Structure 1
Amino acid sequence: MSGTSLTLTIATPSRVWFDAVEIVSLRAEDESGSFGIRTRHADYVTLLTPSVVRWTCADGATRYCAVDGGVLLVSRGAEVSIACREAIPGDSLESLEAGVRRHHAVEDDAARRARVDQLRLHARAVRQMLRYLCPRQGRDAAYGVAMGATSR
């Protein structure tokens, strides 16, 4: 590594998204606002807010990564590490926005499925309790009442 570059590593618990990528500079955001990191930056640790991290690669390209917060560490003035729960990379702001939208759609769908599963489990538990609590001859009538049916 040359003395004029940084390396960037971004990792989540399930994946290392970028591993010692050579960069020239990085912009991120913490509670105090936006800040920049360049070579020979002082050792530094901060908690990132949910935001977009932006960096310039050694070839001049700008890359992006949405993070849900996390910890940014600068060590030895040359290594930048970000640890976060979730990261969504993008080559442009447009591709990043599309990736974030897809990610949120998948999360929303998973949450809907979890709610449906929870309701099914609840209904199954109610039916099971009715089987044990109601006498055999009144079980069907009680089940109908519990499920909203009307008797004649």
Structure 2
Amino acid sequence: MSRGLQLIIATPAKLLIDVDDVRSLRAEDDSGAFGVLPGHADLLTVLPPSVVRWTRADGSTRYCALSGGVFRVAGGKRVAIACRRGAIGDDLAALKAEIEALRSAELDADRRARVEQTRLHARALRQLMRYLRSGGRPPGDGEGPFTAEAAP
């Protein structure tokens, strides 16, 4: 008789979970939520900040809030999740609130990165326009690293 799935959840700093009596597991990736039962096909996917939940053989349900990570099913009996940060808990509402805060912070960081990228792009275009308007002469006063060489 099968003992169920082995579930391992680890961060770089520590092993959060290592149990081998998981009856079922639910997670979500960018395509949506999915379930895993013993005998599941091999799978490798990336998890966004989310809550993973599993039911053990005794019927208890546990939760883990993840900051995102890599999810792998191997051999139909082993589920491994590698993440930067994770928190195990029984209070689903608190864990969901933590995930929403992580997602919000991730979106904010993405927005800031796009703004900075746009700013750098605009600066590069302004530099290019100055160069073209000067007739292809590098900026500067004729001395130093931007000195134009005399044409032959």
Q: Classify the TM-score, shorter chain.
A: 0.5 to 0.7
Question: Does the 8 A contact of 2:51 with 2:96 survive in 1?
Answer: no
Structure 2 residue aligned with 1:5: 4
Structure 2 residue aligned with 1:82: 81
Question: Does the 8 A contact of 2:42 with 2:76 survive in 1?
Answer: yes
Comparing 54-63 with 87-96, greater Cα deviation is found at 87-96
Matches of residues 42-81 of structure 1 in structure 2 within 5 Å?
A: 42-81=41-80
Structure 2 residue aligned with 1:124: none
SS of structure 2 residue aligned to 1:96: helix
Tell me which amino acid in the other structure corresponds to 2:25: L
Deviation for aligned residue 1:23? 0.6
Structure 1 residue aligned with 2:13: 14
Tell me which amino acid in the other structure corresponds to 2:92: L
SS of structure 1 residue aligned to 2:9: strand
Question: Does the 8 A contact of 1:50 with 1:69 survive in 2?
Answer: yes
1: CA distance between counterparts of 2:64 and 2:46? 16
Question: In structure 2, do the counterparts of structure 1 residues 97 and 42 end up closer, same or farther at CA, with 3 Å as the change threshold?
Answer: closer
Identity %: 51
RMSD: 2.1
Is 1:41 aligned to 2:34, yes or no?
Answer: no
Question: Does the 8 A contact of 1:73 with 1:80 survive in 2?
Answer: yes
Question: Does the 8 A contact of 1:4 with 1:39 survive in 2?
Answer: no
Deviation for aligned residue 1:97? 5.5
| Residues 52-98 of structure 1 deviation map (CA, whole Å, 9 limit, x = unaligned) | 00110111011000001100110110000000000011023145358
The total of aligned residue pairs comes to 101
Deviation for aligned residue 1:4? 5.4
The structure with more helix, counted as a fraction of residues = 1
2: CA distance between counterparts of 1:85 and 1:28? 16
User: What TM-score comes out, normalization by structure 1 length?
Assistant: 0.60
Q: Which runs of 4+ in 1 moved over 3 A?
A: 94-98
Gaps of 5+ in 2: 103-152
2: CA distance between counterparts of 1:4 and 1:22? 5
User: What TM-score comes out, normalization by structure 2 length?
Assistant: 0.60
